[in-house]
Amino acid sequence: MSTILIIEQVLNGLQSGVMLFLMAAGLTLIFGVMGLINLAHGSLYMVGAFAAAAVAGVTGSFVLALVAALAAAALAGAVIEVAVIRRLYDSDHLDQVLATFALILIFSEGTRWVFGSFPLFLDIPDALSGPVTLPGGIQYPLYRLALIGVGLLVAFGLWLLIERTRIGIQIRAGENDREMIAALGVDISKLYTLVFALGAALAGLAGALVGAIQSVQVGMGEPVLILAFVVIVIGGIGSIKGAFIGALLVGLTDTLVGIFLPEVLKLFMDAAPATSAGSSIASMSIYILMSLVLIWRPSGLFGARA
């Protein structure tokens, strides 16, 4: 187990963490501001990836593909907010879960109608393909470094938006007391649509960025959605800062435990059962992490409400 391998794995953990953050940020904003559990967030991730793959297939431009992903996901988000979600703000969480679960099915089968059952092709741009050599002789894919960079930039941009702009003030106020800001003359329904579209756009961006190194296929959003829920539970529901820290924790735990636990187990037992048992326990690791955090802080690391 060399230092190089460890550093490479930490980078991998960071990269998966910042991409998770893009998903979790939208989810936590929507839950924090509107009190809505949006299971269809993973579908918006898929919409972003499919829009990117379709546009990249026609134009060959990755930048245009990203723009399309952002636009398509934001538009899809705004449309479902106005058409469906708006009716659910006063319902209880079970109704929201049911309705947004229905949206997952509609999006999945709708996407299959439009694009067919076969996975789509989306490649990373030539300028970012291949590995680069980092100091210390670490070979690391340039595209994954770029993902870390983009993720951190978006996190910084979101922080600016929430902490430094008028809209940010309204969003924070909406989290605390939605009746009051409505009474103060803020158009709350427009604000909700905006927040929902923003969250959707972030999910779409993540889908397009990750879709380039994975498989663009129907149902690709749901596994990420589960992780994103774990992230916001760990970070504290409604907290962007919590989502960021939580995403990095989940990304690093998931990657590092998955790699190192089987190696540690091999010190005590035979190789074959060690790898099999190690990977089984590793797939539980983030849920164990979540339980530990919840025992220590029942409302999550940065959660305001209990």
Nearer to another protein, 157 or 223 (CB): 223
User: Which are the contacts of 100, defined by CB distance < 8 A and separation ≥ 6?
Assistant: 37, 38, 39, 40, 85
Angle subtended at Cα 74 by Cα 68 and Cα 79, rounded to the nearest 5 degrees? 125
* Residue 210 CB, nearest approach to another protein (Å): 8
Nearer to another protein, 165 or 280 (CB): 280
Nearer to another protein, 242 or 258 (CB): 258
| Whole-Å CA distances, 73 to 93, 167, 246 | 24, 20, 24
41 vs 54: CA distance, rounded Å: 20
Beta pairing class for 138-141 and 131-134: antiparallel
* Residue 53 CB, nearest approach to another protein (Å): 9
Nearer to another protein, 275 or 299 (CB): 275
* Residue 212 CB, nearest approach to another protein (Å): 8
* Residue 139 CB, nearest approach to another protein (Å): 5
| Whole-Å CA distances, 250 to 117, 199, 253 | 31, 20, 5
* Residue 118 CB, nearest approach to another protein (Å): 4
Nearer to another protein, 11 or 301 (CB): 11
Nearer to another protein, 14 or 74 (CB): 14
* Residue 129 CB, nearest approach to another protein (Å): 6
258 vs 76: CA distance, rounded Å: 35
Nearest-10 crossing angle of helices 3-34, 188-211: 160
Q: What is the 8-class DSSP label of residue 120?
A: B
* Residue 262 CB, nearest approach to another protein (Å): 7
289 vs 254: CA distance, rounded Å: 10
Tokens 């760990």 map to which residue? 234
Residues that bind another protein (CB under 8 A): 1-2, 4-5, 8-9, 12, 15-16, 108-109, 112, 117-121, 123-124, 129-131, 139, 141, 143-144, 210, 212-220, 223, 255, 258-259, 262, 271-272, 275-276, 279-280, 282-283
Nearer to another protein, 119 or 168 (CB): 119
Q: What tokens does 48 get?
A: 């972003």
